[in-house]
Structure 1
Amino acid sequence: MNNNQTIENMHRLISERYEKLKKHKKTENAYPNNFFPSHNTKELHENFNNSTREELLMNNIFVKISGRIMLKRIMGKASFINIQDESGRIQIYIEKNILGQNEYDNFKQLDIGDIVYITGYIFKTHKDELSIKAELIVLLAKSLRPLPDKFHGISDKELRYRQRYLDLIMHEQVKNIFFIRSKTISLIRQIMTREKFLEVETPMLHIIPGGANAKPFITHHNALNTDMFLRIAPELYLKKLIVGGFERVFELNRNFRNEGISTRHNPEFTMIEFYAAYTDYNWMMTFTENLIKELMITIMGSLKIKYQDILLDFSKSFDKLTICEAIIKYSNQYDFDKINDISFLKKEIKRLDAKYQSISLEEMDIYSLQLILFENQIEEKIYFPTFIIDYPLEISPLAKASKNKPNIAERFELFIAGRELANGFSELNDPEEQSLRFKQQIASKSLADDEKMFYDDSYIKALEYGMPPTGGCGIGIDRLIMLMTNSPNIRDVIFFPHLRPEI
């Protein structure tokens, strides 16, 4: 069947269903809302799968259930349908002698996809399949568009993202991804509360886009007559709360960055950021590792999970490597001498990446050059959970400088399965130093204009009242769920990811 025939066939089926609905409306309320189920399919299977046919017949168990018709088999005076609710599927047996001729004829007009309410008695068929013998069937909502073919589902990935509701109807494994997502977020909240962190909410609309180097979305507030920015990070507001006397705070919410879309980037994404007074980046690494391990064992039931055919073992202590150590460990072409030779690094970076052919590297120190080499050649190779430390201070304007290396920040990034999952550091709490860092960022030639950090006077003013020594960390929830559900694309773990508009 060619594309035109497929479209014509679809229009015909939709027209037929509209006609059925029109006919139904003449005698019945087509969208009633006064029928309430007593059970879901999971409860029925859990409660009665182990019962014998004789026990079910003797106990005469009456149930009310609702769901979407997913399978329909008409066989003369008796028929079967399978209905699906949020928790699973169950078979329904429909007999003309029980319903009566008129209701049985009405039943035969139902289509796959229709949402129905059913009352009846639990029993088991001769094949020992748990079923419901229907006494009443009520149409609750007509499916005016046919569902995708039950055998092929939806093969078009983009269609699955655009019409996620169909994806959820047709693919049980997709629904399970989002159950895991919900359970994970709920458990994170429980753990943070147990560990004495206070959940807070900070503004989504910012006067200044602070807290990260990223391109913001811009909007305009009419009443204030000022441009505002969707937040790229909640960091500065959360640290103001530390100044205000809350010693442990976290926020689990959305950030927005007006940057590229890829298998690991979506313009709006979910993060948890948390801050604890009287801690540092070492404390944060330990806390982050323990948090992730608890999520794995509780949600996944194991500290060993498979991601894209590679076994990830969370039972071991996470690695901790400097950028230089990581380059040497994961590359067979660089040694200590090469990655500490600034002349070699400049030539190698230009050789590896064409975008640096036209960018001057002369003002970059050796730490920044090592980072570029790491990002270009190494980070995607880091599969085992690994904290990378010793980031250049130049690109870490909100972090404390190392006590031993003034050009290095007390900062870490956690890499798992070749991608960054978390970012944290000992927070800079010296207002004079922070003011100087903001100014250096604004003047920096190494950052694009849309990635430079703004000077946030209100944050400096807050620091001038005194912020205790503090550690902070942010974890990308979407990427974490990708790991836990073995999903290769960030769009697979977001209900409605952003796509180009349909033409």
Structure 2
Amino acid sequence: MKVRREKMENLRDAGIDPFGHKFTRTHNSQELHEAYDEKTKEELHELALSGIVAGRLMTKRGKGKVGFAHLQDREGQIQLYVRKDEVGEENYEIFKKADLGDFLGVEGEIMKTDMGELSIKAKKLTFLSKALRPLPEKFHGLTDTETRYRKRYLDLISNKESFNRFVTRSKIISEIRRYMDGRGYLEVETPVLNNEAGGASARPFYTHHNSLDIDMALRIATELHLKRLIVGGMEKVYELGRVFRNEGMDMTHNPEFTTMESYEAYADFEDIMDLTEGIFQHVAKTVVGQDILEYDGKEINVGGKFKRVHMVDAIKEVSGVDFWPEMTFEEATALAKEHDIHVEKHFTSVGHIINEFFEKYVEETLIQPTFVFGHPKEISPLAKMNEKDPRFTDRFELFINGKEYANAFSELNDPIDQLERFEAQAKAKELGDDEATGVDYDYVEALEHGMPPTGGLGIGIDRLVMLFTGTTSIRDVLLFPTMK
């Protein structure tokens, strides 16, 4: 760093600002390659075209009065060809003293070298920013995982695969917005700080609001505020935003993550299955250009209709245990013990046992996109009961490669039933269920004003990005993952 600081001062002494100002480009590297890669050296010489580029200096070589370098911008790299007799002594000194990592602006002729590489033959160099720290030694691919996560900027500079992954993430989110907007949904924003964390089964983060002198929770879902908007007559809404859950971290979980939740009046969970398929297939078509995805050593097909199976049927198919016949909690508990399934003290119904069987036996077998529907009422406090069998709800989860990617249901709009389920959740919380929620009386009051039949959806954006980028760790799709 000492040498780089000395070079910075030398630039100042020469009247050159080492941290320059606005610089106008005519091309980025991709535009140059797309326009001129197919041209021959002779054709470019005949055309005598000029261009202005800017970027970070990534390579530099040469001696005497001639040098070569590569500038890197967001789209890629372009070679520079610098001759002292073309740029003049002052400009050539700028080039000679520039370090890898510095930012330069270059104006010159678009050409090809004898080796056929598209280049800018420099006429003028402008110093734009001095890098006082060197790039990582192996800047062609920063390999230290800890550094990649903590100093993502270095990862983005040195790892094109990582850079492109985050560009793809942005494109995926843009296309989801485009898809939802095109179907008449309104994008809205709801509070991150809440008096009561609800809309999911999860442990929240708590904080204190000094001005109001009240404890508040960071949202664990956007659901309850969005459904208030359905009560208010907005009919079709969605929100893309961060939610926070004070829980464990692993390859697919981060305490702070992004979801897309949507709600549509007069729809049910089967309509939302179609919407979910459409979102995944739209992203496949517009962002990656194919329905077959290579993921975790498997081929995942997101084209066509996704498989649909009732949770009880899925359990029976894999484990042989049949939960369709009515049984007591004691009988279900005995079945659980026979199959080495731990029964938590807050479990109070057969529905809890059914869910444990599903998680143990079925989840990891669901490789291709599969809608699992018919969740027990006890684990679905916000979902409408199934008309034919009220033990279960009109809810589904989308599983791919053994992981949940979406959760949706026909929303419970009966305020009396909703209050009873909230109270059951509050009791479970008292019995030690950290993920159970309390009673949101304000939401119940909203329902008492009437909410039309509604279909709701929640998609984990980070997992979706992992799927479409072939990434197995959630930290690789979060620009700044949570670190100790």
What TM-score does the superposition give when structure 1 sets the normalisation length? 0.91
Q: Secondary structure, in 3 states, of the residue corresponding to 2:99? A: coil
The answer to whether the 8 A contact 1:413-1:421 is kept is yes
Distance in 2 of aligned mates of 1:443 and 1:103: 75
The amino acid across from 2:348 in the alignment is E
Q: Secondary structure, in 3 states, of the residue corresponding to 1:100? A: helix
Q: Deviations over 1:74-126 (max 9, x none)?
A: 23221100110001101000111112234323311111111111111100111
Q: What is the Cα deviation at residue 325 of structure 1?
A: 2.6
- Name the counterpart of 1:364: 349
Q: 1:105 aligns with which of 76, 84, 93?
A: 93
- Name the counterpart of 2:74: 86
Matched, 1:335 2:320: yes
Matched, 1:215 2:199: no
Q: Which runs of 5+ in 2 are unaligned?
A: 326-330
Matched, 1:468 2:458: no
**Dislocated runs of 4+, deviation >6 Å:** 338-341
- Name the counterpart of 1:16: 3
Distance in 2 of aligned mates of 1:371 and 1:345: 13
Distance in 2 of aligned mates of 1:142 and 1:275: 50
- Name the counterpart of 1:379: 363
Q: What is the Cα deviation at residue 49 of structure 1?
A: 1.0
Matched, 1:496 2:484: no
- Name the counterpart of 1:134: 122
Distance in 1 of aligned mates of 2:89 and 2:261: 62
Q: Secondary structure, in 3 states, of the residue corresponding to 1:241? A: helix
Q: What is the Cα deviation at residue 305 of structure 1?
A: 1.2
Q: Deviations over 1:23-71 (max 9, x none)?
A: 2122211111132211100011111111221221122111111000111
Matched, 1:346 2:330: no
The answer to whether the 8 A contact 2:349-2:378 is kept is no
Distance in 1 of aligned mates of 2:287 and 2:71: 28
Change (3 A) 1:131 1:105: same
What TM-score does the superposition give when structure 2 sets the normalisation length? 0.95
- Name the counterpart of 2:400: 416
Q: Secondary structure, in 3 states, of the residue corresponding to 1:444? A: helix
Map 1:50-61 → 2, pairs under 5 A: 50-61=38-49
- Name the counterpart of 1:63: 51
- Name the counterpart of 1:250: 238
- Name the counterpart of 2:12: 25
Distance in 2 of aligned mates of 1:15 and 1:450: 53
Q: 2:134 aligns with which of 129, 132, 146?
A: 146
Q: Secondary structure, in 3 states, of the residue corresponding to 2:445? A: helix
Name the stretch that deviates more: 238-247 or 19-28.
19-28
Distance in 2 of aligned mates of 1:281 and 1:195: 17
Q: Secondary structure, in 3 states, of the residue corresponding to 2:375? A: strand
Distance in 2 of aligned mates of 1:347 and 1:68: 62
Q: Deviations over 1:171-217 (max 9, x none)?
A: 11111111111111111111111111111111111111111111111
The answer to whether the 8 A contact 2:171-2:287 is kept is yes
The answer to whether the 8 A contact 1:338-1:345 is kept is no
Q: What is the Cα deviation at residue 337 of structure 1?
A: 5.0
The amino acid across from 1:58 in the alignment is E
Q: Deviations over 1:265-292 (max 9, x none)?
A: 1111111100011111111111111221
Q: 2:110 aligns with which of 122, 128, 148?
A: 122
Distance in 1 of aligned mates of 2:349 and 2:26: 68
The amino acid across from 2:367 in the alignment is Y
Change (3 A) 1:412 1:222: same
- Name the counterpart of 2:328: none
Q: 1:193 aligns with which of 181, 184, 187?
A: 181
- Name the counterpart of 1:8: none
- Name the counterpart of 1:46: 34
Q: Secondary structure, in 3 states, of the residue corresponding to 1:378? A: helix
Change (3 A) 1:162 1:195: same
Q: What is the Cα deviation at residue 405 of structure 1?
A: 1.4
Distance in 1 of aligned mates of 2:186 and 2:90: 61
Q: Deviations over 1:208-262 (max 9, x none)?
A: 1111111111111111111111111111111111011111111111111111111
Q: What is the Cα deviation at residue 445 of structure 1?
A: 6.3
Matched, 1:456 2:446: no
Distance in 2 of aligned mates of 1:424 and 1:371: 16
Matched residues, number? 478
Change (3 A) 1:99 1:71: same
Matched, 1:76 2:60: no
The answer to whether the 8 A contact 1:391-1:409 is kept is yes
The answer to whether the 8 A contact 1:346-1:361 is kept is no
- Name the counterpart of 1:7: none
Change (3 A) 1:160 1:211: same
Distance in 2 of aligned mates of 1:474 and 1:67: 40
Change (3 A) 1:208 1:445: closer
Name the stretch that deviates more: 20-29 or 232-241.
20-29
Q: What is the Cα deviation at residue 442 of structure 1?
A: 0.7
- Name the counterpart of 1:10: none
Distance in 2 of aligned mates of 1:167 and 1:463: 48
The answer to whether the 8 A contact 2:383-2:411 is kept is yes
Distance in 2 of aligned mates of 1:189 and 1:361: 40
Q: What is the Cα deviation at residue 149 of structure 1?
A: 2.9
Distance in 2 of aligned mates of 1:207 and 1:403: 33
The answer to whether the 8 A contact 1:339-1:370 is kept is no
Distance in 1 of aligned mates of 2:223 and 2:429: 24
Matched, 1:389 2:373: yes
Q: What is the Cα deviation at residue 339 of structure 1?
A: 9.3
Q: What is the Cα deviation at residue 448 of structure 1?
A: 3.4
The amino acid across from 2:147 in the alignment is L
Q: 2:410 aligns with which of 426, 432, 435?
A: 426
Distance in 1 of aligned mates of 2:254 and 2:139: 31
Q: What is the Cα deviation at residue 313 of structure 1?
A: 1.1
The amino acid across from 1:17 in the alignment is R
CA RMSD of aligned residues (A): 1.8
The answer to whether the 8 A contact 2:53-2:107 is kept is yes
The amino acid across from 1:402 in the alignment is N
Distance in 1 of aligned mates of 2:461 and 2:19: 38
Q: What is the Cα deviation at residue 315 of structure 1?
A: 2.0
